Amino acid sequence: MEPEVESPEIDSIVSDLCDMLQRYNKEQIALGAETSLSSELNIDSVEVMDLIMEIEDKFDIDIPINLISDVETVADLARLVHERMKGG
């Protein structure tokens, strides 16, 4: 599958998110836009909530948790953050 072309803002959010995700990266896998949060990073349900809190605090946004069921990769998460920053 062709990687989607992302805006520079999203690239920058991906990079911030990868930094934040290091704390949960127990296997020290290489993190990037297409890393799967659930199947590669294996982040558990309690850790997800910790991560959401950190993201909300860092970007000063609210993330409706109902929307995270559509989040699979770091890029999905970055797009969600980007939308919320625009007031989406």
Partner 1 sequence: MELTATSNPVLPFRVGTFETIWEGLDYAARGETGCNFFSSRGAPARSLPYSEIRERALDLALRLSTLDLPRGSRFAIVAETSPHFLIFFYACQYVGLIPVPLPLSINLGGHDAHVARLRAMLAAAQPAAAVASRELLPTLAQAAAGLGARLIGTPEDFDALPAAGGALAPFNKDEPCYIQYSSGSTMDPKGVMVSQRAITTNARAIGRDGLRLRAGDRAASWLPLYHDMGLVGFCITPMLAQVSIDYLATSTFAVRPLTWLQLISERRCTIAFSPTFGYELCLRRAAKANAMNLDLSSWRVAGIGGEMIRPDVLEQFAAAFGPHGFDRRAFLPSYGLAEATLAVSFAPLGEGVVVDSVDRDKYEFTRRAVPVKSNGAAQRTRSFVACGSVLPEYAVEIRDDNGRTLPDRTIGRICIQGPSLMEGYYRNPAATRQMKLADGWLDTGDMGYAVGGTLFVTGRRKDMIICNGRNIWPQDLEWAVESLADVRTGSVAAFSVDDDDGDERVVIVVECYFAEPARQRALVQDISAIIHRTAGVHCEVMLVPARTLIFTSSGKLSRAAAKARYLNDGLRAIDVGIDATPAYGFDAEQRIAAAG
Q: Of 2-10, 15-23, 35-43, 78-86, which part binds partner 1 (CB under 8 A)?
A: 35-43
- Buried residues in 25-44 as b, exposed as e (16+ CB within 10 A): beeeeebebebebeebbebe
- What part of residues 2-31 is at the interface with partner 1 (CB under 8 A)? 26-27
Strand partners, 50: none
Does the protein bind partner 1 through residue 83 (CB under 8 A)? no
Max Cα-Cα span within the chain:
35
Of 88, 87, 82, nearest to 17 by C-alpha is 82
Q: Report the residue from 12, 44, 58, 85 that binds partner 1 according to the rule CB under 8 A.
A: 44
Total residues contacting partner 1 by CB under 8 A comes to 26
- Contact residues toward partner 1 (CB under 8 A) are 26-27, 36-39, 42-46, 48-49, 52-53, 56, 62, 64-72
